[in-house]
Copies of this chain bind each other. A is one copy, B any other.
Amino acid sequence: MKQEKEKIVLAYSGGLDTSVAIAWLKNKGYDVIACCIDVGEGKDLEAIKAKGSQVGAYASVVIDAKEDFAENFVLPALQSNAMYEQEYPLVSALSRPLIVQKLVAVAKEYGATAIAHGCTGKGNDQVRFEAGIHALAPDMKIEDPIRDWHWSREEEIDYAKKNGIPVPITMESPYSIDENLWGRANECGILEDPWASAPEDAYDRTNPIEKTPDTPEIMEIQFAHGKPVALNGEAMPLAELIMKLDKIAGKHGIGRIDHVENRLVGIKSREIYECPAATVLLKAHKDLEDLTLEREAAHFKPVVELKMANLIYNGLWYSPLMKAIQAFIKETQKDVNGTVRVKLFKGNVVCEGRKSPNSLYDKNLATYTSADEFDQEAAGGFIKLWELPDKVYAQVQANAAKNQSEPSVKGETISAD
């Protein structure tokens, strides 16, 4: 009777590395379930499914997760204005927990005992994959072929040929790219010199400003509970909205980010991101929050957001703290309803107007006209108590200065330093 093989689920992209990984894992004794997940990078899922089988997968699974990704991963990030180091809207970092969730689900479905990913040994993604997998399935075995096989490019191609893996003839890109509907990340090659400008071919989803239209595009974005629900009055699912807006904003040159960032693994790296839709939505969302969040909430939320962005970047999506922070964020979004009018033009997103049934802006309080309802008499009292701690401090300082300047013990001055 034939001994059943151990099954492994591989995060499969259809590219050379993960195709070779299928062979490598088979040779290691696994039945490989190739699993390709579309998060909006425009993959041909059917072709990838076929290729997975063709290069030796025991099973080949493809999943269209665009709407799931938008609703459950991008949206919480948008609602928390999540920007790693105030600059990067967390493109790849957001897709990892979704991919991990699907891989674990497929593993359970097929009775697989292991999951493999194709991350290198110096990036953040290996951490995000492995920490994510173990947060969902703590006993899952993990294989990381690329980190393990230590091959040069030539050795890899050699291995591919020996194992019947088709090797692409076209020139390899000098870049290492990851993308999804929330943006596109690019590193390597010439970008590794942070003094050098990013060349134009490093970009794909945005026009250079020189080639953008000479007419601005005015759009109205409607939000319900902090979620974009319509463009120019047309309601649509979030993934669709993002992808549609991405094309328009990209055409206007919006969303290029050039960032030297701190990786979780302890090094700095220089990254080129393109996030047209993310840039527009993050700006519009914040602008609507400015109108609808009460002051204390508006001032404390950024502290929580900083933590949220770090948790996402650091692969801790499935931590208990993330759940608590999401509960916080969700509560803040209840009143974030309304419409923001943005102008997209020559790389700029300008918020020109915003309105909301929950607007806390009160013209009758804010106006300098005769409609003024603000109690100016109250200001005097407010100032007296507001300034009181520092006024007392100043008085005490003045008195202390008049007396001896240094603390002493029994009349002898004591130096503290």
Contacts and interface: CB of A to CB of B under 8 A. Distances in A.
Q: Please report whether the interface of chain A is mostly helix, strand, loop or mixed according to DSSP.
A: mixed
Interface size class of A (residues with CB under 8 A): 35 or more
A192 B407 contact: no
Contact of A258 (B137, B323, B350): B350
B235 A414 contact: yes
Interface stretch (A16-24, A25-33, A39-47, A121-129): A121-129
Nearest to A337: B407
A353 B126 contact: no
Contacts of A287: 260
A367 B295 CA distance: 32
Contact of A383 (B127, B229, B262, B387): B127
Nearest to A345: B209
A406 interface: yes
Interface stretch (A5-13, A54-62, A158-166, A328-336): A328-336
A384 interface: yes
A277 interface: no
Contacts of A325: 328
Contact of A85 (B290, B389, B396): B290
19 contacts: A85-B299, A126-B379, A134-B391, A135-B394, A138-B398, A226-B416, A229-B409, A235-B414, A260-B354, A266-B388, A267-B362, A295-B389, A296-B311, A296-B319, A300-B321, A319-B389, A320-B332, A360-B396, A380-B381
